[in-house]
Amino acid sequence: MNVCVLLGSLRKASFSGMLANALMSLAPSSMEPEVVEIGQLPFYNQDLERLIDPPPAPWTAFRQRVKAADAVLFITPEYNRSVPAVLKNALDVGSRPYGSSVWDRKPGAIVSGSPGSIGAFGANHHLRQSLVFLNVPTMQQPEAYVGHVHKLFDQHGKLINDDTRKFLQQFMRAFANWVETIRS
């Protein structure tokens, strides 16, 4: 299974990146997760779609990469009770031009994390709202809100909490099953 991993944080040593590395290392052997960079995507502007032929190269490359994937794993922090602009922009770029969305029927899952105790619950659910509209069948259970994420990794970004490791491994197994169910 070819899985695009999209990070809602651009920070080099972000907790989202640490979570992504942990999740990818715990994925079942049937999955091939790969982080797809979204920070280079120009902000979506319909004029660029209409007036430039072809549209910006980063948009085209991103759309092709997501379209080729079997599934998408979103890993996001919470900014002001919502998703970061970079992640929302990736959703917008992938959903256009109208009628050609790369998200349509693409199985997905969300992991959100924050240093706070509620694990970016607001961002997780705000993202789910957009994914419903984009027709991304999003895994419902287990939900993944990773609170106190700053205490789960060492100074090198390695996961040090065994309970979290077990949970993330179960999450990835459930995600693999979810993708297989949706694909069949």
Find tokens 């993708």 and name the residue.
179
Q: pLDDT at position 175, please?
A: 98
Answer whether 8's CB lies under 8 Å from 76's CB.
yes
Mean pLDDT of 121-138: 96
Quick: pLDDT tens for 62-120.
999 999 999 999 999 999 999 999 999 999 999 999 899 999 999 999 999 999 998 89
- State which residues form the domain around 52: 2-183
pTM for the structure as a whole = 0.96
37-54: average pLDDT: 88
CATH (domain of 22): 3.40.50.360
How many domains does the structure of the chain reveal? 1
Structure confidence at residue 50 as a pLDDT band (50, 70, 90): confident
Identify the bridge partners of residue 4 per DSSP, sorted by sequence position.
34, 72
